[in-house]
Structure 1
Amino acid sequence: RLNKKLLTNYDTNVRPVLNHSHPVEVQLALTIQNIIDLDEESDVLTMYTWVSYLWTDEYLNWNESEYGGIKSIRFRDDQIWHPDIHLYNKRSYEPIDTFMIVYSSGTVSFVSPMVMKSNCAVDISNFPFDNQTCILTFGSWTYDGSKVSLKSVAPPGLHTYTMNNEFELTNATHKVNWKQYQCCPEPYVDVTYTLELKRRTDHATHFIMSPCIICSLLIPFIFLLPHGTNDKILYGAPPDILHNVFLI
């Protein structure tokens, strides 16, 4: 009965405000579960994240006492309006299907878990002691700031973060920006998260520097062997094999 009451004459294409001169205020929150990979060759950062949205739908509210004390109800994302927030610098992302929770006050909560791939320009000039900065920019694709006002009250959440073996996440910040693009006269709002990553030197030392040092120490002894002896091949092969074993 409540579902029918809420969805009767409901239009998913119309912003859920009674006064259409008012924007829909959307709170965005990013929780980073773990960094899966930072590919230096393709400049792609892969993470598993939870992206949370919170807004008020002024058409979806009810008196709990009239509906058996029901405090919340769930809808699929194709049943009600939701903001078209996208990661602007994405390579790809794989959202996991979930429901939106609507509370009796009209507050809508949507938490979307996803594997996210984004562009991240990698500078390895100081490898293996390099630091990388990756930026994630979220914003509405079609609504300007007067229609959807995007807000973020906190930097990325790290309370459930799982450590990455190659990179340490040293800092994570956020900033709300109002920007004007050449295509459109109205300003658009985005939330930009900045992630600072530091390569773990123990990983690089173990897999790269140590084999190189060992090989460098072994190779000069080859020149001490008599000229023309086949032992040079015998003693020259192990350093190369050792290096390849460390890289596997």
Structure 2
Amino acid sequence: KRLHFHTMFGKHILLTFLVIATILSNIADGHLHARFEENGITIDREEYLVDDSTQTCAAFTINNATLVPKPTNLRIQVPPDVVNNLTVTLIGTDLDCDHGFYVTPLSAAETDKWIGRWSRCSLSDTFSYEGKEGCVFQCQCSGSCEEIQILKMPRDILRVHDGCMFSTENVDNDMDSDRNIGRDLRAPWWYCSNDGNRLTGYFDVKLGVFRFNRTHQMNFGRMMIRPNQCTTIKY
């Protein structure tokens, strides 16, 4: 009898544990997860996102909800149930900034990819996004500086002005190995650096091609911006 009691008691504990685990798993599946890049902590929107009509600088807003605490080096992972109705706004890191710009999420088939990040930067110049002024981030570090990554443009063509410098080095090596996008033409990229190349042109997102103002053309796998080397960018 004692053995039977312990066996049944153990089965009840195991069943309870499985039920709780299933409930927690189902809850987690419906959340929009965000991870702090510095320490790998994963948080969900129900705990850290609040409805807030005021957009504070140095913060992410997701569907007009402000992420708290205000992050640096934050990446957002989008599950399929929210990807089609998601608008992400990156807002400048200076306290007196009141502008931002938008990142369109990848398609539902690409929801396991990171859609954006920015590093510890201060504001420099501005760019125009659909007639609205936005913030250009000026990295404070020197040498190898963390970049802003945008993995899909919201418009068909990216127009680059003022001789913004670019580089094609390390095309597929600038993201974490487990998050490497590779050469996906649906997520084209343009890369600013200080390597001395000064070519202006525009980016054709549909073709995944950066077309320069002289005879030169290359295909890319994702979009990156190192804004400390850029001046004015117009979409």
TM-score by length of 1: 0.21
The higher relative CO (CA closer than 8 Å, separation ≥ 6) is in 1
Bigger Rg, structure 1 or 2: 1
Q: Which has the higher strand share?
A: 1
TM-score by length of 2: 0.22
